[in-house]
Structure 1
Amino acid sequence: MDDERIAVDPDLHRPNDPDYPDDWQSETTSIGSSIYKGMMENGRRYQSLRNEEYCVPADDQQFEAYEAGHLLALILEANTDNPLFRSPVGNNPKHILDLGTGKGNWAIDVADMFPNATVRGVDLFPPPVSWMPPNCVLEVDDALREWTWREPFDLIHMRIMTASWTDSEWDRIYQQCYNNLQPGGWIEQLEAIPPVECDDGSLPSDSILNTWGPYTMDCARKAGRELNAMDIMTEKIRQAGFVDIHVKEYKWPIGPWARDQQFKEAGMVQLHHWLSGMDGWCMWLLTKFGSPQPWTKEEVQIYVAKLRKDIKNPRYHTYQKAKRVWARKPFPDEISKVHIKKEDIE
C-alpha cells in the first residue's frame, strides 16, 4: 500500500468552492435524561456513564463526525458485495454486536440487511436516533464490565475505537469478544491512525498539519490511552486466540483531490469527517495533557482553526492511513493456526 500513490486530479478545487462547507447540518433527538445531558467541559459534552473521563465528546457535532466516518467506510467498500463488513457470516446470522456504536449507523444498516437477526449497538452514551429497525437494539453500557448477553454472537464489530481503552483493557476486550462469539464466529475492526500523510511532497514541511499526529499521540500517551489501535489490533486479536486473520490496508484521502472517482468521493466525505471531528478529537487531550503545559480552550480553538485552513487547501494531497482486520473464532476441534491474508488497496 505505502508504495502505491493515489493519482491526483489536475483540475484544482478552489478553497471557496461550495463543495467545501465548514459544517454539516444534522437533526438529532432532544432527550432530557441525565445520561443524555452528560458532562460539559470546554463547551463540549462527554459521557457520564464511567467514573473516569473519556477523551472524545458525545455531542451533536461529534455525532456528525461519526456519521461521516460511516459513509467514508461505505464508499471505500462500495465495490464489494457487502460494504458494511468483510466477515463471511453467511446469509442468516442470528446475533450481531457493534461495540462503540456511536450514532448507531452501522448497527441500523446491518439490522436492515439481516431482518431476522438481532443487532445490538453498545456505547457509553445513548445515540440520538428517533427510529430504528425493530430488530436493532441500541444500549448504554460499558464493555469493560461483565457481559450479560445470553446468546453468543455470530459477529462482533468495532470501528474507530482508538483511545477507548488502555493496553491491558484492550486485551480484556478482545478476550470478552472471543468468549462471547460462537465457534466459527467473527470479529471485525476498522481503525485509522492520526498522522496526516502525503506521498508527492505537496504538503509543505512547515504545515501545521504535520504537528497534528505528534501532538495528539503524545497527549494520548500521557493519558494512558495511546492512539495506536490500528497498529496493535492484529497481534492482539491473534493473541486472544482468533484464527484465519485477514488484513486490508487503506489510504483515506482528505479532500476531493484524487483523480479516481471513488477516492474523490471518499476524500470529500473524509474532509467533512475531519472538519466536524477534529475539535473533539483534540480538545480533551490538549487541555489535559498539552505541552509544555495544558492548553487553554482558546488555544485549542486557534490551533483547530489553523488546521482547518490547511486541511481545506486543495493543493495539499493528504491522506490518512487505516486498516481493517477480520478474524474467526476457531471450532473446538480445529488446530489453532493463524493465517494472515493482506489486501492492499488499488
Structure 2
Amino acid sequence: MEGEDGNDLSAVTSVALTGIQQLGDDAEAVEQVGSRAIVPDNQSFTDAGYESDTATTASTSVSSSIWDFSFENGRRYHKFREGRYNFPNDDVEQEREDMKHAMVKLLCQKLHFAPIGDDPQEILDVGTGTGIWAIEMGDAYPSANVLGIDLSPIQPSWVPTNVRFMVDDVESPWLHPKNHFDYIHSRHTIMAIKDWEKLLRTSYEHLKPGGWMELQEIHHFPMSNNNSLTADHPVAQYWKYVDEGLENLGVNFKFSDEGRIAALMRQCGYINVSERVFHIPIGTWPRNKTLKSVGLYWKTILLDGIQAIALGPMTRGLHWRREQVEAFLVSVRRGYHDNSMLLYMPLVCVYGQRPTTQ
C-alpha cells in the first residue's frame, strides 16, 4: 500500500512493529526541544500468558447500555455517557488510533518517560481506547496489574493475564481507593477531558506516595518550519474550527500547549515535574529517516481521520450541516498535500510525582 507521498506504508509499519532498536543512531536526532528545527530533506489473538477479559469490569452490571453504540452522520459513537466524547469509535477510527500508538512509539522509542522502576504494582491507563498501550505495558511489566479505562468497550478479548479493562468515565468519581496506583498514564485525551485540574487532583489522590502521573498530548495547532503557514490556510482554518467547536462543547483544546500541563501539575502538588517536547512532522519532508517515517505516519493518520475529527466539533459545536463539513474538507485535504510549508505539531510529554511525604 502506498501513501500520498508515494511511500510504502507497509514498510513504515514494519519499522515500528519489528523494534525501534533497529533504527540505530538515526533515532537520536528525533527529539526536538523548544525552537530547535527539524532539518528538511533537499483484533483477535491468543498467546501464552493471555486470557479473555470479557465481562470483567466493575461497571458492567450497572447497565447493559455501556455495550451499545449510537450512530450519527454515518459514524459510530459510544453510548455510555452519550455525547461525552465527540469522536467516533468505529473500526476505522480504532485502526487510526493503533497507528497513532505505533507512531508515538517510533518517535519516543519507549512506552513512557516517568521513572516507575522495574516492578510497579498498579498501573492505570486513562482513556485507554483500543487498549494497545495497556496491553504492551502488561507485557513489559509482569509485576503490575494494568487497568485501562474508557467510555467505549472496544478493547480486545484476549489480553495478558495482568491486564483488564473497565468501561467508565474518568471525570466521574473513581471506584478505586485513594493511595492505590504506582503510575497513572493518559495519552491523546486532549479532545475529551473537560476539567484538567480535577483530573490531575483526582489522580494525585489515587497515586501512592511516590507514584507518578504522566500525560502525553499532541498540540494540534499546526506550525511551519519555515513560517509559511498563514491563518487563512485551509489546514490552519480546520484546526481553528475544531478548537472553536470543542470550546463550545466544554473542551479546552489548547491545554496541550507547551508549559501549561507542567504548570498545572506543579499547582496541584506534583514534584519532580519534567516536560519533553517532540515535533511530529506532517509528511516526509524531514531529512532524518526516523522523522521521515513518523511524518508519513502522521500525515496518513490526519488524512484518514480528517472527517472523524471534524464531524463532532463542527456539527455539534458549531452547528454546521454535514454537507458543509464535507465541502470544507475538500480544500483541507488538498492543503495537507503541500509539503513546501514543512508542517509539524508538537507532542508534549509531561510527568510528575506525588511526594512521598506531605
Q: Please confirm whether the aligned pair reaches a TM-score higher than 0.5, indicating the same fold.
A: yes
Contact 1:195 1:210 in 2 (8 A): yes
Equivalent in the alignment of 2:168: 141
1:153 pairs, out of 159, 172, 181, with 181
Of residues 200, 220, 235, the one that matches 1:174 is 200
Q: Following TM superposition, by how much is the alpha carbon of 1:205 offset from its aligned partner in structure 2, in angstroms?
A: 6.4
Shift of 1:3: 2.7
The answer for the alignment partner of 1:16 in structure 2 is none
Paired residue for 2:211?
A: 185
Summarize the Cα distance change of 1:205–1:216 in structure 2 as closer, same or farther, 3 Å threshold.
Answer: closer
The 3-state SS of whatever aligns with 2:286 is coil
2:276 corresponds to 1:248:
yes
Counterpart code for 2:137: V
Q: Secondary structure at the match of 1:155?
A: strand
Secondary structure of residue in 1 paired with 2:149: strand
Tell me the amino acid that sits aligned with residue 178 of structure 1: Y
Q: Give the Cα separation in 2 of the matches to 1:226 and 1:55.
A: 13
1:318-329 correspondence runs (5 A):
318-329=343-354
What's the CA shift for 1:134? 1.1
The TM-score, its normalising length taken from structure 1, stands at 0.82
Structure 2 counterparts to residues 51-70 of structure 1, below 5 A = 51-70=82-101
Residue 96 of structure 1 deviates from its aligned partner by: 0.3
Q: 2:256 aligns with which of 225, 230, 243?
A: 230
Q: Would you say 1:5 and 2:37 are equivalent positions?
A: yes
The alpha carbon displacement at 1:46 in A equals 1.5
Q: Is the counterpart of residue 212 in structure 1 residue 238 in structure 2?
A: yes
Cα distance between partner residues in 2 of 1:36 and 1:314:
42
State the match for 1:122 in structure 2: 149
Q: Deviations over 1:69-125 (max 9, x none)?
A: 2112111112xxxx0001111101111000000111110111010112110110000
Describe the superposition over 1:195-220 as per-residue Cα deviations: whole angstroms up to 9, x where unpaired: 21112145566531121222111222
Give the unaligned 5+ runs of structure 1: 11-26, 334-346
Of residues 73, 79, 90, the one that matches 2:104 is 73
Aligned-residue Cα RMSD (Å) equals 2.1
SS in 1 for 2:298: helix
Question: What's the counterpart of residue 29 of structure 2?
Answer: none
Q: Give the helix-richer structure, 1 or 2.
A: 2
The question of whether the paired residues in 2 share the 8 Å contact of 1:127 and 1:138 is answered with: no
Identity of aligned residues (%): 29
Alignment counterpart, residue 286 of structure 2, candidates 241, 250, 258: 258
CA distance in 1, matches of 2:122, 2:272: 21
One-letter amino acid of the structure 2 residue matched with residue 193 of structure 1: H
Q: After alignment, is 228-237 or 97-106 more displaced?
A: 228-237
| Runs of at least 5 residues in structure 2 that lack an aligned partner in the other structure | 1-32, 46-53, 55-63
| Secondary structure of 2:274 counterpart | strand
For the 8 Å contact 1:28–1:128, the answer to whether it is kept is: no
CA contact (8 A) 1:275 1:308 kept: yes
CA gap 1:270/1:52 in 2 versus in 1, 3 angstroms: closer
Does residue 192 of structure 2 align to residue 164 of structure 1? yes
**Paired residues, what number?**
306
SS in 2 for 1:283: helix
Q: Deviations over 1:283-334 (max 9, x none)?
A: 01111232xxx2111221222232222213333411112211000000116x
Contact 1:161 1:229 in 2 (8 A): no
The Cα offsets for residues 230-289 of structure 1, whole Å up to 9 and x where unpaired, read as: 133222212221111000112110111110011111111111221222212120111123
Give the aligned partner of residue 317 of structure 2.
289
Describe the SS at the equivalent of 2:339. Answer: coil
Q: Offset at 1:64?
A: 2.0
> In 2, distance between residues paired with 1:233 and 1:276?
28
Query: Counterparts of 1:105-116 in structure 2 under 5 Å?
Result: 105-116=132-143
Worse-matched range after superposition: 255-264 or 218-227: 218-227
Amino acid paired to 2:89: A
Which of 278, 302, 308 pairs up with 1:274? 302
